[in-house]
Chain A
Amino acid sequence: MHEWALAEAIISSVSQIAEKEGLKEVREVKIKVGELQQVEVEILEFALSELKMDKLKNAKFFIEAVRAELKCRVCEHKWSFSRNRLDKESAEAIHFVPETVHAYIKCPRCGSPDFEILQGRGVWLESVKGVK
């Protein structure tokens, strides 16, 4: 239920943005969820619906999944993250702390653990819209 902690962070962040931008009501929140963190979108949606209140009461949350793309810093090979290649415990570790991917995955071409996560790491707010 790591998704609840992330949902709380989203609600907190959106509330701060609404305050800063003088929004009376938040209508739409766009969220991007990276594949690497393996967030259960249904649980995240449920948590958001349970946690939203005050200015966010009527907000609609749109969640878009983003493929996780990795790039080797040594040989520049690019590849996509696949949960299926991991055992349950390693996948769970990456779910909690996506950076632990460096403990479990290596570049499929040269074997280096020195790669960057080009996209699809975790949870991001893309936009917050509302009425002033």
Chain B
Amino acid sequence: MIDPRKSIINKRLGRVKHIIAVSSGKGGVGKSLVASTLALILANKKFKVGLFDADFTSPSTHLILGVKNAKPREEKGVIPAHVHGLKYVSIVAYSRENALPLRGADVSNALMELFATIIWGELDFLIVDMPPGISDALLDVIRLVKGINFLIVTTPSPLAFETVKKLLELLAELKVPVVGVVENMKIRESNFIPQNVRDAGFRFLGELPFDPKVEDSLGNVDTLLKTDFAIKLAKIALEIFL
């Protein structure tokens, strides 16, 4: 028995110039915030951008973007919703307010289903908000999506970096391209993360401040883009992608 979905995935993504998976070994480091804000920043620079929330059991990009009903359309496939200048897909459109308890194999199946059926069309960037950790979703996007790049998020904490370091080692071993590492929620001067990232042979992209205004801006993208967090991320994004 052969699963036919795998064979179509790279055709579906064939007109996407850059696919960036925003990932981390650890949860709660701000991946979704970085992914959503990065997508908005690039869209504001007139790029064609897609945002795919691949964190099926704990999706949160819809809350960051203030999206209430972004249901994809069905037309010979899944046509992403248009939200704040982005093509946007989150499983919340299907699971709604319900908990979605999935085991690893289910996550793999749902990922493959959506990658095989979403018609992204022409994009400059597809930003994928990954679930935390080094498990099925990570291994699946590496296996299924040709040319995917990783942007890694950590916090200043050695506890976060311990698993981030393992993720970086794994990506290096698998020869998966890594754009670099951003340090989020920086609260005081420290060279611990930049030094360790460079020592591991990766590019340190910069630090994002712990910005209390971010919490107040959740759901309001105009306010979000004015936070110190977003302004700093915009500088990093322009250095990397322009």
Contact = CB atoms under 8 A, between A and B. Distances in A.
Contacts of B72: 96
A5 B100 contact: no
B77 A4 contact: yes
Q: Which bracket fits the contact residues of A?
A: 20 to 34
Given A4-B76, A8-B8, A99 B109 contact: yes
A62 interface: no
A116 B34 CA distance: 34
B7 A16 contact: yes
Contacts of B107: 99
A17 B106 CA distance: 26
A31 to B, nearest CB: 8
Contacts of B106: 99, 102
A114 B101 contact: yes
A81 to B, nearest CB: 15
B8 to A, nearest CB: 4
Interface of B: 1-8, 11, 56, 72, 74-78, 91, 94-96, 98-103, 106-107, 109-110, 113-114, 116-117, 119
28 contacts: A1-B75, A2-B77, A4-B76, A6-B4, A8-B11, A9-B4, A12-B8, A13-B2, A13-B6, A16-B7, A32-B1, A96-B74, A96-B78, A99-B56, A99-B102, A99-B107, A99-B110, A99-B113, A100-B100, A103-B95, A103-B96, A103-B99, A114-B103, A122-B109, A122-B113, A124-B4, A125-B4, A126-B1
